[in-house]
Amino acid sequence: MKYIIFNWKSYLNIAESMNLSKIVSKLPSTKKYKLICSPNNFYNLSLKSRYPKNIYAAQNIDLHGKGASTGSIDIEDLVNNKIKYCILGHSEVRSNFGETDLIVQKKTDLCLINKIKPIVCIGEPLKIYKSKKTKFFLKKQINKIFKKSNNYEEVVLAYEPLWSIGTGLTPKLSEIDDILGFLSKILENYSFKKINILYGGSVNLSNIKDILSLRNLNGVLVGSASTKSSFIKHFK
């Protein structure tokens, strides 16, 4: 089964998010794909109550929890409203809010303690890619986020080359598959009950078939393309 995660970011208003959620809810169930919607965090709870059969993911959480923390997204709210997944360490959160690998590590642990499955994003900037140090960079990220002493339940790892997100540029298929195989090998040094490795970065209707055919791939994390009904209907 391949993960297909629709990361709607902040592209859609509540009515548009409702419309796409309705389309997802009407798709026939299949063992081929696991479809996960990730709308703006402000809409998540109302969408889940309206379309309870859909699987939803939060776009982030806050470490502070309930209390005097203005604007925070409390993990208790996700648990109480049956939000099963949470995206962590996305490049936009890292660049816009200064999120570090250490913060991602703490959020990953918090999710797992609360039975929320983390979708952990990692990826290299263009400078690293051009200098052919991608594998070294990714290994360093993994070592900071995951602890070899921990026993992890299900984790989803999304490889997103930063230079590919929203640019229309993608690595060669052979490069993606090579990196995914490398990540699989690195993760063997950690205790995961289940690990799924995804690719994200300018995924769209024109390339998704080829990307999903990659040997080492367990799914995709899709941004702006997933805000189109035609993209979602592709998985019927």
Query: Does residue 90 have an active-site annotation?
Result: yes
Task: Identify whether 53 is part of a domain.
Answer: no
* Confidence at residue 169, expressed as pLDDT on a 0 to 100 scale: 81
The rounded distance, in Å, linking the Cα atoms of 149 and 223 is 33
Catalytic option among 90, 92, 99, 124: 90
Task: Identify whether 180 is part of a domain.
Answer: yes
CB-based burial label for 223 (10 Å; 0-12, 13-18, 19+):
buried
* Confidence at residue 41, expressed as pLDDT on a 0 to 100 scale: 87
The rounded distance, in Å, linking the Cα atoms of 2 and 191 is 22
pTM of the model: 0.95
> The domain containing residue 151 runs over which residues?
2-46+58-233
The rounded distance, in Å, linking the Cα atoms of 154 and 115 is 9
* Confidence at residue 7, expressed as pLDDT on a 0 to 100 scale: 97
Q: State the angle between helix axes of 41-50 and 14-26 in degrees (0 to 180), rounded to the nearest 10.
A: 40
Residuewise pLDDT in 10s, the chain (236 residues): 999 999 999 999 999 999 999 999 999 988 899 999 999 988 988 899 999 999 999 999 999 877 766 767 889 989 988 999 999 999 999 999 999 999 999 999 999 999 999 999 999 999 999 999 999 999 999 999 999 888 888 899 999 999 988 788 889 999 999 999 999 999 999 999 889 999 999 999 999 999 999 999 999 999 999 999 999 999 98
The rounded distance, in Å, linking the Cα atoms of 124 and 142 is 12
Task: Identify whether 14 is part of a domain.
Answer: yes
- Extended beta strands in 97-234, E state: 117-122, 151-159, 191-200, 219-222
* Confidence at residue 65, expressed as pLDDT on a 0 to 100 scale: 74
Task: Identify whether 52 is part of a domain.
Answer: no
Virtual torsion, Cα 26, 27, 30, 36, nearest 10 deg: -90
SS3 state of residue 143: helix
- What residues have CB less than 8 Å from 172, skipping those under 6 apart? none
Reported as type and span, the H/E element at residue 175 is helix 173-187
Task: Identify whether 173 is part of a domain.
Answer: yes
Task: Identify whether 131 is part of a domain.
Answer: yes
3-state helix, strand, coil in the chain (%, to 5): 40, 20, 40
Task: Identify whether 51 is part of a domain.
Answer: no
* Confidence at residue 3, expressed as pLDDT on a 0 to 100 scale: 97
Q: Which of 55, 57, 54 is nearest to 39 (CA)?
A: 57
Task: Identify whether 72 is part of a domain.
Answer: yes
Total tally of structural domains belonging to the chain: 1
Catalytic option among 92, 99, 124, 160: 160
Which CATH number covers residue 106?
3.20.20.70
